[in-house]
Structure 1
Amino acid sequence: MEPDEYIRALAAESLARDDATGWWDTLYAAAGEGVTEIPWDRGGPHALLASWPGPAEPRGSAVVVGAGLGGDAEFLAARGWRTTAFDISPTAIAAAKARFPGSPVQYVAADLFDPPPSIAAGFDLVVESLTVQALPPSYRERAVGAVRALVRPGGTLLVIAAAADEGERSEEGPPWPLTRAEVESFAHQATGLRLVSVEEFREGGSHRWRAQFSA
């Protein structure tokens, strides 16, 4: 079975139990046993993170949401950010620690919807790459709010996501791509998080957003 088909089957079983996130740990465990692959594991950072200009100088703490096997987190740490990386899958976190022994990154198994105090305190840079899109649309508003809450006053949020055109909606997922309006919904007047830029990338059948927000 192709990895994408395997993932959708796992997600469907999990959603049938009213569990939107349990399939992740099952997936990482299966990948560790050689049963399947992790399609988004590139062995390094996402290309849209690696090419993002970002702040002129690293300026404090960063967190990677849904960090998986650590590629994005290690990229930030190598550029001087004091980096925390969390994932709901303990198996993924254990694999990231094994992949990067001696890493300065603080890897934590944690739930975006119920983060421990060390994560809920907020960060100067929050990187949300491909996590919100992996949750069903019924969870989207809650997930967006949870990501938004991680940004410290004066901080920056970077969102990378699969893109959908307005009016385009697929019930089959994950992923469930975001429309531009859904990407822009990370901005929130009450919390002071404002949209700085939204970039759209179309290449080789891939359609992606990269959006930056400032608090």
Structure 2
Amino acid sequence: MFEQQPDTIREKVRQLAAAALENSQPSGWFEILYQEAKGDPTQVPWVKLTPHPYFQDWLKSYPPQPEGKLGLILGCGLGDDAEALAAKGFQVTAFDISPTAIAWCRERFPESGVNYLVADLFNLPREWEQKFDFVLECRNIQSLPLSVRSQIITEIAKAVAPEGTLLVITRLRDREPEGDSPPWALSNIELAQFQELGFQEIGRDVFYNNEPNSVKEVRIEYLRIGT
């Protein structure tokens, strides 16, 4: 997220995120950014018009799914991860808090079987609780301040069905986060909350991107155990 972006876009994100925090709406800036992009994907820092490479790589070894398996993409952006998961045979629901982003998805993939919806990660529909066999959390948490991490992790955990898979792709930090704008990397202490909520970590891959200071990123596969 935000890798190698022009300084003008980074500064815009910083200003929008700061204003949203001042208004106690930590995710309120996403719709503004999508609106002001005016259909230009280069104005949205995380948009690459292709599935995230760490997710795409993981899917290569993931077997096709039988009909009826349900998948959920959190904060789906412009839909590339959702389409990749649907290609594996899942019935996919994908949501974003931005109505503009969801309209953009539907325009890009007019024949798609993905159910694109507007929803709020802070308040997921109750009917989604323990519903999905697979859930992807790809760099949403890191775009939100530390003060809401516990709440967001709890909401994400609720959506995963018993024996379901949760895949988390995020920056990882070893010390206190720096900077006054996203992304804010997660810590292992924060990630441990998933285990407290009934998940078992069954796989972890570590990556270093090409940014200055070699930012550490992780892809973690969790299994929801019990009921």
TM-score by length of 1: 0.91
SS in 2 for 1:186: helix
Structure 2 match to 1:12: 18
What does 1:97-116 align with in structure 2 at a 5 Å threshold?
97-116=106-125
Aligned-partner Cα distance in 2 for 1:128–1:35: 21
What does 1:16-95 align with in structure 2 at a 5 Å threshold?
16-32=22-38, 34=40, 37-53=43-59, 55-59=62-66, 60-95=69-104
Aligned-residue sequence identity (percent) comes to: 37
State whether residues 95 and 118 of structure 2, in contact with CA within 8 Å, keep that contact through their aligned partners in structure 1: yes
CA deviations 1:114-170 (Å, max 9, x no partner) are: 2224534520000000101111000001111111111000100000012212x2321
Moved over 6 A (4+): none
User: Which of 142, 147, 165 in structure 2 is aligned with 1:138?
Assistant: 147
Aligned-residue CA RMSD in angstroms? 1.9
Number of residues of Structure 1 aligned to a counterpart in Structure 2? 212
User: Which of 142, 151, 159 in structure 2 is aligned with 1:150?
Assistant: 159
Aligned-partner Cα distance in 1 for 2:93–2:10: 28
Aligned-partner Cα distance in 2 for 1:17–1:41: 26
State whether residues 73 and 83 of structure 1, in contact with CA within 8 Å, keep that contact through their aligned partners in structure 2: yes
Unmatched runs of 5 consecutive residues or more in structure 2: 1-6
What does 1:157-196 align with in structure 2 at a 5 Å threshold?
157-165=166-174, 167-188=175-196, 191-196=197-202
Aligned-partner Cα distance in 2 for 1:101–1:134: 29
State whether residues 124 and 155 of structure 2, in contact with CA within 8 Å, keep that contact through their aligned partners in structure 1: no
Aligned-partner Cα distance in 1 for 2:192–2:56: 22
State whether residues 129 and 160 of structure 2, in contact with CA within 8 Å, keep that contact through their aligned partners in structure 1: no
CA deviations 1:56-91 (Å, max 9, x no partner) are: 332511000001110100110112111100111111
Amino acid at match of 1:16: E
How far residue 182 of structure 1 moved from its aligned partner, in angstroms, is 2.3
Aligned-partner Cα distance in 2 for 1:85–1:35: 19
CA deviations 1:92-132 (Å, max 9, x no partner) are: 11111111111000001001122224534520000000101
Aligned-partner Cα distance in 1 for 2:193–2:181: 21
SS in 2 for 1:42: coil
